[in-house]
Amino acid sequence: MMNQYLLLTPGPLSTSQGVREAMLKDWCTWDEEYNLGIVQHIRRRLVELATSQPGYTAVLMQGSGTASVEAVLSTVISPQHKLLIIDNGAYGARMADIARYHKLNHSLYKVSETSLPNIEEIERHLQQNSGITHVAMVHCETTTGMLNPAREVAALAHQYGKVMILDAMSSFGGVPMDIGDWHVDYLISSANKCIQGVPGFGFVIARQSLLQKCAGQARSLSLDLYDQWHCMENQQGKWRFTSPTHVVRAFAQALTELDQEGGIAARHARYQQNQWLLCQGMQELGFRTLLPFALHSPIITSFYSPEQAGYNFKAFYQRLKEQGFVIYPGKVSDADCFRIGNIGEVYPQDIQRLLSAIASSRYWLD
C-alpha cells in the first residue's frame, strides 16, 4: 500500500513499510514475549543509544511527548526545589505552562524565538538565584528549527551542581549526543520523531540515582514517572496501565531499522544532507530562511513566506499536497513563516522532488 503523501513535518512523520507492518498483530500486555521480550529490549536499547556511561535507566510513558515532559517536571521537582526554564520558543514556553499548572517553584530565562540562549546570562542567573536546583531546556526548538546549545548549558548546570533536564524530543536519534558526557540527568523524547516510530508514547532516559529519590513526589497518578519506572523495573517491563502495544511493536521495529541504517551517526548524516539540499534549493528558488544557517538543526527549517501578493499558505499547502508532499505551517509569533521538516523516511531524492514541485507550483502566486 502506498502512502498518499510524504510528511515533511516534525512528527508524526512518514514511517517505513516495516514499521507500519509491525502493527498488524495484536499483543497481550501481560504476555512475557511482549514485556520481557520487547519492552525491556527497547528500554535497554534507548539507554545504549543515549550514552556509553553507566547509571542511566529508561522509562516509557503513554501519551504524546508533552505527557513525558509533564511527567518529568511534575515528578522530579519537589516543593523544596526550584526550576530554571530556558525559553526561546513554543516548547520552552510549554514547559513554563506545565510549571504553572503544577505550581512548581520556577523562574524563566526567556529570549526571542530567533535568538540563541546566552550562556553568560544563564550563568549570571544561576549565580543570582542560588535557590535553583534544576535547569530545563529544549534541544532542537522545533518552533523555529534552532539547535540550542544544550551541551554548554548542561555543562554549566553541572558546574553549579544543578540537575539538567533536556527536552530532546525532536533531536534524539537524529543528532549524536552522549548524555553521560554532556551531564544531562533527564532526557525526554517520543516514539514518533527521529527514531521514526508512530505516535503513542514518550520516553525518559534518567540518571537512576536521581529518579530513585522521587518516590511519592508526583503530582499526578497517571504521570508519576517514578511509579511507572518502578513498575517497569521490578515487573520485567510491565506498564502500570494499558500500554500502546501496537505502537511499542512498531517502535521496536523502528529501532532495528535505525541499526540497519548505521545508527544515529548515519541517520544524522542523511538528515543533514536532506536539510542542506533543502536550504540550498529553496534559496535558489528565492526563499529566505528565518534563521542564519549556523543556527539550523538538521531536523526542520523555517522559511519566510513569499512576499508576493496573492500568496497564502493554505493554497501553497494544497498545491504541494496534490503533488504528494505535506509541509507545516509556521509557529513563530512575530514572523510570517512556513516550515519544512526533513526527518522520517525521507531521502535526498525526495527533497529533490519536493524542490521541483515547489518550482512548478509557482502559479499559486498569481
Residues lying near ligand PLP in the complex (CB under 6 A): 10-11, 64-66, 69, 91, 138, 142, 167, 169-170, 190
Q: Are 71 and 83 in contact (CB under 8 A)?
A: no
What is the Cα–Cα distance from 95 to 241, expressed in whole angstroms? 25
Quote the cell numbers at residue 140. Answer: 532542537
- Sheet with 83-87: list strands edge to edge: 56-62, 201-207, 186-190, 163-167, 134-138, 83-87, 106-110
Nearer to ligand PLP, 89 or 306 (CB): 89
* Sign of the alpha-carbon torsion through 12, 17, 18, 20: positive
Minimum CB–partner distance for residue 203 and ligand PLP (Å):
12
Please report, as a single letter, which amino acid is at residue 276. Answer: W
Torsion, Cα of 24, 30, 31, 34 (10° steps) = 60
Query: Which CB sits closer to ligand PLP, 91 or 325?
Result: 91
The C-alpha atoms of residue 142 and residue 112 are separated, in whole angstroms, by 14
Minimum distance from residue 297 beta carbon to ligand PLP (Å): 10
Going through 100-256 in order, the beta strands assigned E by DSSP cover 106-110, 134-138, 140-141, 146-147, 163-167, 186-190, 201-207
- Smallest separation, CB 195 to ligand PLP (Å): 13
Closest to ligand PLP by CB, 139 vs 233, is 139
Cell 522532488 belongs to residue: 353
* Cβ distance to ligand PLP smaller for residue 13 or 47: 13
| 189 contacts: CB under 8 Å, gap ≥ 6 | 65, 68, 168, 169, 171, 172, 173, 195, 202, 203, 205
Considering the complex, what minimum distance in angstroms separates the CB of residue 361 from ligand PLP? 27
Residue placing its CB nearer to ligand PLP in the complex, 250 or 358: 250
Please say which residue, 136 or 278, places its beta carbon nearer to ligand PLP: 136
Output the residue with the shortest Cβ distance to ligand PLP: 65
| R_g of the chain, CA atoms, integer Å | 21
Q: How far is the CB of 89 from ligand PLP (least distance, A)?
A: 8
For the bound state, the minimum distance from the C-beta of residue 140 to ligand PLP, rounded and expressed in Å, comes to 6
Q: How far is the CB of 73 from ligand PLP (least distance, A)?
A: 12
By C-beta, is 13 or 156 nearer to ligand PLP?
13
Q: Which residues contact 212 (CB under 8 A, 6 or more apart)?
A: 226
